[in-house]
Copies of this chain bind each other. A is one copy, B any other.
């Protein structure tokens, strides 16, 4: 793999030299080319609003540095056929990391977003950040070695984590599922190994939303919400074509919306939170009590064969086998999630609601019950063109989103 000496990053700076060296006008040109493909200098002048003369100068410098290349002539608009410019994707690389409570997925892509290598394995976030991030670095180095890519050729790392993130600092703040990670400096730890990389940390659901926006069911949709249903419930919001993180970076924390003022006490201390009533553990608890009271023979049998435990997946399997109690548990969960989502639809008037996360695939009753509840509880004007569906990228949303997150921050300040 050939290296252009002019673009070789400085491993000691702790900043991405490529990005740091780019002027705002240069970044604008690159962003335009990444979004739209090949363009002529005249196109670029029109899109950016800069003069033709300025554009020729900016492009000249970028071509010299190997960041852009000319790829033959485009269609003539009457005069000489214009030379088309192309962003050179193999000028550097990015990594996407999707960290789940019990899984770790890593992918390597070029600057054009083409996925080159990927790897997934079980992981336990409660092993703590040192153990997990050591493993992340080792795996990433392995993927890069396979392609002959040096650590300093990695320009950005996007990482999605299952907890609340202060986006501006990249720190997890009091994450309930991974307390050992509270305020842990993920960015600087990863930069010890990948010194040229910008590291961008975000909440897993925001990352899923970005993935759906860039390459999933949300392409071209201005306003939509991704709901992740698993151990907890969270939302990723796309507003006016961009991931919306709110004033403190904690928008979408919808798991503790109240859906029943007479409901059970949640681990947060409040009453009737949708997460406490309708997420994975609540489904499992209802299934256990149906097994223990023998109201469902199927669940009782699974309970015994599992050695005295039941999971949300067991409820899904029982429902698929026709168990009415299991179906009812799933429907009730869908109704409660639907109640919370109806409020968000009334407020936000999105075009699309996408369901993701492990529990979202538990059975078609869940989606159907959520749809029914939202349609019943939200005004006709806000539901007439509303689509409610599964996330388009399925299990890949987090990984693709993490790559998109890295790509969006190669060329702009965090």
Chain A residues in the interface with B (C-beta under 8 A): 48-51, 53-54, 164, 166, 173-174, 222-223, 235, 237, 239-240, 242, 244-254, 256-262, 268, 270, 339-340, 342-344, 346-351, 376-382, 384-386
B223 in contact with A257 (CB, 8 Å):
no
Known: A49-B50, A239-B239, A261-B339. A379 touches B250 (CB 8 A): yes
A242, A261, A262: most-surrounded residue (chain B CB, <10 A): A261
CA distance A259 to B380 in the complex (A): 20
CA distance A51 to B46 in the complex (A): 12
A252 in contact with B382 (CB, 8 Å):
no
B258 in contact with A348 (CB, 8 Å):
no
Q: 11 pairs across A/B with beta carbons < 8 Å?
A: A173-B381, A222-B247, A239-B244, A240-B244, A248-B381, A250-B379, A254-B343, A254-B347, A256-B378, A257-B346, A258-B339
Across the interface, A258 reaches (CB within 8 A) one of B54, B223, B377, namely B377
B381 in contact with A258 (CB, 8 Å):
no
In this complex, what residue of B is CB-closest to A28? B49
Q: Inside 8 A of A54's CB, which chain B residues have their CB?
A: 51
CA distance A100 to B213 in the complex (A): 40
Q: Inside 8 A of A376's CB, which chain B residues have their CB?
A: 270
B349 in contact with A246 (CB, 8 Å):
yes
Known: A239-B239, A377-B270. A348 touches B251 (CB 8 A): yes
Q: Tell me, rounded to whole Å, the shortest Cβ–Cβ distance linking A410 to chain B.
A: 23
In this complex, what residue of B is CB-closest to A350? B247
CA distance A237 to B249 in the complex (A): 17
B377 in contact with A246 (CB, 8 Å):
no
A343 in contact with B257 (CB, 8 Å):
yes
Q: Inside 8 A of A343's CB, which chain B residues have their CB?
A: 254, 257-258, 340, 343-344
Known: A258-B342, A339-B258. A248 touches B385 (CB 8 A): yes
CA distance A239 to B379 in the complex (A): 22
CA distance A259 to B239 in the complex (A): 25
CA distance A351 to B256 in the complex (A): 19
B253 in contact with A349 (CB, 8 Å):
yes
Q: Tell me, rounded to whole Å, the shortest Cβ–Cβ distance linking A350 to chain B.
A: 6
A259 in contact with B261 (CB, 8 Å):
yes
A347 in contact with B50 (CB, 8 Å):
no
Q: Tell me, rounded to whole Å, the shortest Cβ–Cβ distance linking A169 to chain B.
A: 12
Q: Tell me, rounded to whole Å, the shortest Cβ–Cβ distance linking A265 to chain B.
A: 13
CA distance A247 to B258 in the complex (A): 25
B49 in contact with A250 (CB, 8 Å):
no
Q: Tell me, rounded to whole Å, the shortest Cβ–Cβ distance linking A115 to chain B.
A: 31
Q: Tell me, rounded to whole Å, the shortest Cβ–Cβ distance linking A246 to chain B.
A: 3
The 7 closest A-B pairs by CB, nearest first: A246-B349, A49-B49, A251-B349, A51-B51, A257-B343, A247-B351, A250-B381
CA distance A71 to B244 in the complex (A): 42
Q: Inside 8 A of A342's CB, which chain B residues have their CB?
A: 257-258
Q: Tell me, rounded to whole Å, the shortest Cβ–Cβ distance linking A5 to chain B.
A: 33
B254 in contact with A346 (CB, 8 Å):
yes
B377 in contact with A248 (CB, 8 Å):
no
CA distance A377 to B53 in the complex (A): 57
CA distance A144 to B408 in the complex (A): 52
In this complex, what residue of B is CB-closest to A258? B339
A247 in contact with B347 (CB, 8 Å):
no
Q: Inside 8 A of A53's CB, which chain B residues have their CB?
A: 51
A256 in contact with B381 (CB, 8 Å):
no
Across the interface, A223 reaches (CB within 8 A) one of B235, B247, B268, namely B247
